[in-house]
């Protein structure tokens, strides 16, 4: 008898007699996702192979990401949160002589990834994050919070390991085959050396300057967002395997720095944070001020700049059009210069005040 595929077994568990299995994908840390669709719904089915002990840090991080994603979706459903992250359906196991798999499924509306985000797109995301943060305050006595943070510690260790190797790779490539994509490759190489030292000296403890810990996506970029085809409406925020309790400003800072134009990043970022802040305090009072979000935005620049290195290297090594490679390299280089000016104290004020848009 022919062994059924994982997709077939998952469809059976979900009660889908008629379905199409689209191309599977992987999340940024390598968590595999099956895409099943029938005439009514689209399903994302997260899959992990269970083992008694992880054989590598990557495998341990992937397992941690699987369970954090599942716990997050269960948490949102349990709290009936009105946030666009898909609808948790069920979790199940597939066990036979060859496989020992854990799976869970989420239904989502189909959507499209936008290459660059406007202030309106960013404001839509800010409203969703505010709704999530209003219910997701860290409580050290809750098992959910403790488990999420323990899993995220494993993921953080893996990401730090990847970043160290990425920095070494970037220094070589930016002086070699990718040099022509940058205006100041020699300067960038020197900056990467300083960032490597900072990474070595950095504390592994979570940092927050706002006195509050909320559920953070952890790697929010344009690739994590799905919009309607016309780009007018946010459909869903995906890939929650890096979810953790962190600084309320982190996710929006990450999204603006990685996925908005330099003009928005410099001159209109507070418009996005205002949308977030006033949506949040309409739901629940907060101890931090709007001006604190601006301070955190500056503080996160270096970390987020380095988070963008791996996707940049993958893009520059791919077969996409050179124009896209040049524009992506220019955006990253511009952010690198801005980060350096923040760290040196030589940044020229953007005049982006907390209560008035420029």
Q: What is the CA radius of gyration of the chain?
A: 21
- C-alpha distances in Å from residue 15, one per residue of 1, 35, 43, 95: 22, 15, 12, 18
pLDDT, tens digit (0-9, with 9 covering 90-100), for 3-20: 678 999 999 999 998 999
pLDDT, tens digit (0-9, with 9 covering 90-100), for 175-202: 999 999 999 999 999 999 999 999 888 7
Same domain, 168 and 316: yes
Using the 3D structure, point to which of 108, 141, 159 is the last residue of a domain: 108
pLDDT at 221: 95
Residue 208 pLDDT level (bands cut at 50, 70, 90): low
In sequence order, which residues have a C-beta less than 8 Å from that of residue 120 and are 6 or more positions away? none
DSSP 296-321: HHHHTHHHHHHHTHHHHHHHHTSSS-
List the domain range (segments joined by +) for residue 56: 6-108
Range scoring the smallest mean pLDDT among 115-119, 288-292, 329-333, 351-355: 351-355
Instruction: Give a yes or no: residue 355 inside a domain.
Output: no
pLDDT at 352: 54
Residue 22 pLDDT level (bands cut at 50, 70, 90): very high
As given in the structure block, the two tokens for residue 202 are 């950095």
Q: How far apart are CA 258 and CA 167, in angstroms?
A: 17
As given in the structure block, the two tokens for residue 261 are 């134009």
Using the 3D structure, point to which of 73, 108, 143 is the last residue of a domain: 108
Same domain, 268 and 303: yes
Q: What share of the chain is helix, strand, coil (3-state, %, to 5)?
A: 50, 15, 35
Instruction: Give a yes or no: residue 1 inside a domain.
Output: no
Residue 210 pLDDT level (bands cut at 50, 70, 90): low
Same domain, 201 and 281: yes
Q: What is the mean pLDDT of residues 60-89?
A: 95
pLDDT at 357: 41
Instruction: Give a yes or no: residue 113 inside a domain.
Output: no
In sequence order, which residues have a C-beta less than 8 Å from that of residue 77 and are 6 or more positions away? 87, 88
pLDDT at 312: 95
**Does the structure show a pLDDT above 80 at 21?**
yes
Instruction: Give a yes or no: residue 349 inside a domain.
Output: no
Find the CATH number of the domain harbouring 216: 3.90.1200
pTM: 0.91
Same domain, 79 and 133: no
- C-alpha distances in Å from residue 148, one per residue of 59, 75, 302: 17, 11, 25
Structural domain count of the chain: 2
pLDDT mean across residues, the chain: 90
Using the 3D structure, point to which of 88, 108, 128 is the last residue of a domain: 108
Q: How far apart are CA 136 and CA 140, in angstroms?
A: 12
Counting Cβ atoms within 10 Å, is residue 3 exposed (0-12), middle (13-18) or buried (19+)?
A: exposed
Same domain, 70 and 19: yes
Find the CATH number of the domain harbouring 31: 3.30.200.20
As given in the structure block, the two tokens for residue 94 are 């597939």
**Does the structure show a pLDDT above 50 at 206?**
no
* 8 Å CB contact between 300 and 193: no
Residue 203 pLDDT level (bands cut at 50, 70, 90): low
Same domain, 52 and 198: no
Q: Which residue has the higher pLDDT, 163 or 97?
A: 163
Same domain, 61 and 140: no
Same domain, 249 and 146: yes
Instruction: Give a yes or no: residue 357 inside a domain.
Output: no
Same domain, 37 and 161: no
pLDDT, tens digit (0-9, with 9 covering 90-100), for 105-144: 999 988 999 988 999 999 999 999 999 999 988 887 789 9
């Amino acid at each position: 008898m022919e062994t059924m595929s994982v997709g077939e077994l998952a469809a059976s568990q979900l009660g889908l007699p008629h379905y199409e299995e689209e191309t599977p994908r992987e999340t940024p840390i390598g968590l595999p996702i099956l895409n099943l669709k029938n005439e009514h719904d689209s399903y994302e089915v997260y899959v992990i192979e269970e083992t008694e002990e992880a054989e590598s840090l990557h495998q341990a991080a992937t397992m941690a990401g699987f369970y954090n994603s599942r716990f997050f979706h269960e948490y949102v459903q349990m709290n009936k949160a009105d946030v666009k992250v898909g609808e948790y359906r069920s979790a199940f196991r597939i066990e036979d002589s060859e496989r020992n798999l854990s799976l869970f499924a989420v239904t989502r509306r189909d959507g499209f990834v936008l290459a660059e985000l406007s202030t309106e797109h960013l404001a839509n995301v800010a409203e969703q994050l505010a709704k999530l943060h209003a219910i997701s305050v860290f409580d050290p006595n809750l098992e959910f919070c403790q488990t999420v943070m323990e899993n995220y510690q494993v993921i953080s260790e893996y990401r730090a390991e990847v970043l160290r190797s990425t920095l070494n790779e970037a220094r070589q490539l930016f002086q070699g085959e990718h040099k022509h994509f940058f205006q100041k490759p020699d300067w960038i190489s020197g900056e990467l050396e300083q960032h490597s030292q900072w990474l070595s000296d950095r504390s592994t403890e979570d940092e927050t300057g706002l006195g509050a810990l909320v559920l953070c996506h952890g790697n929010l970029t344009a690739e994590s967002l799905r919009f309607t085809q016309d780009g007018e409406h946010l459909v869903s925020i995906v890939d929650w395997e890096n979810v953790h309790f962190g600084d309320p400003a982190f996710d929006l800072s990450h999204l603006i720095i990685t996925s908005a134009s330099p003009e928005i990043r410099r001159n209109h970022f507070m418009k996005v944070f205002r949308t977030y802040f006033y949506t949040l305090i309409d739901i629940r009072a907060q101890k931090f001020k709007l001006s604190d979000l601006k301070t955190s935005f500056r503080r996160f620049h270096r970390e987020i700049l380095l988070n963008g290195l791996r996707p940049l290297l993958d893009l520059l090594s791919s077969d996409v059009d050179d124009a896209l490679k040049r524009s992506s390299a220019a955006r990253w280089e511009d952010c690198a210069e801005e980060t350096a000016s923040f760290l040196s104290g030589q940044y020229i004020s953007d005049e982006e005040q907390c209560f008035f848009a420029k």
